[in-house]
Amino acid sequence: MFGYLIWHGAGRPRVTLERRRIGGVYFQVLEAQGGQRRIRRRVRHAVGEMAARGVRRCVFDPSWPAAWRGDLGEIGEQDLRRALLPHTLDWLSEEKGLRLGGAAVELSAPWADRPVWEAACLLSRRCRYLRLSMDGANELRQELWRRYGISAGGGEGRAALTICFGDPVGDGPRLLLGPACGQQQPAVYQLPPALTADLAPYPVTTSLVAALWQGGGVKTGDIRVKSLDFHA
């Protein structure tokens, strides 16, 4: 189960913890208000109770004090962003004019694991040249030739887009899909209007979208990229 931690700032001291359904997914929701010195122990107890209930990853209100997170981690965006890769490429083409049909794309990763293979198969159908930079590139290159008749490599000059499954590389447009992609290259997502209305008063943050997607509250096809700085 996911957690959701909300800080209401100064006011009458109160700390509440309850199971709540948000967007079709159940969360342990911790809300706190009051002077931090007065409620510090109560909050720490509640955070410990969340962990005891099986909560490990959470949506944090932006103003939630970092010192009060305990051992709870933030919900990562990596898997969501990788699942959205086909739509993100469409968005880059339609909204940013980055058309890859006749261009070179570099795919960078520490090694050629399954998500990288899936991305390479997708890109091999989307771009003219696909450059591979990773351990295991030869095996992946052979598989692309066997499956699609595509010889990876080629293309002169800088790649039109670099897709990074590890640390950011390249000095041109790039799309980050590594573990820290949410911090290194923030994105804003859009959900269907009906679901957005249902989520009120909870803001549609990247972390909440990732939680709803992982929990089955929203399908991949219902999530749209609203903004992303692919020069980050």
The string of pLDDT tens digits covering residues 203-225 is: 999 999 999 999 999 999 999 99
Give dist(CA 191, CA 112) in Å, integer.
32
Segment 35-58 shows an average pLDDT of 94
Which one, of 73, 29, 67, lies nearest residue 49 by Cα?
A: 29
What is the Cα–Cα distance from 126 to 105, expressed in whole angstroms?
9
Query: What is the pLDDT at residue 232?
Result: 66
| Burial state string for 98-128 with b = 16 or more CB within 10 A and e = fewer than 16 | bebeeebbbbbbeebeebbbebbbbbbebbe
| DSSP H helices in 112-231 | 114-124, 137-148, 181-184, 193-199, 206-214
Cβ atoms of 32 and 39 within 8 Å: the answer is yes
The mean pLDDT value of the chain amounts to: 92
Classify burial at 189, counting beta carbons within 10 Å of its beta carbon; exposed 0-12, middle 13-18, buried 19 or more.
buried
pLDDT (average), residues 156-183: 91
Cα distance between residue 219 and residue 197, in whole Å: 17
- Has residue 177 got a pLDDT over 90? yes
Give the residue-averaged pLDDT of 51-65.
94
pTM: 0.90
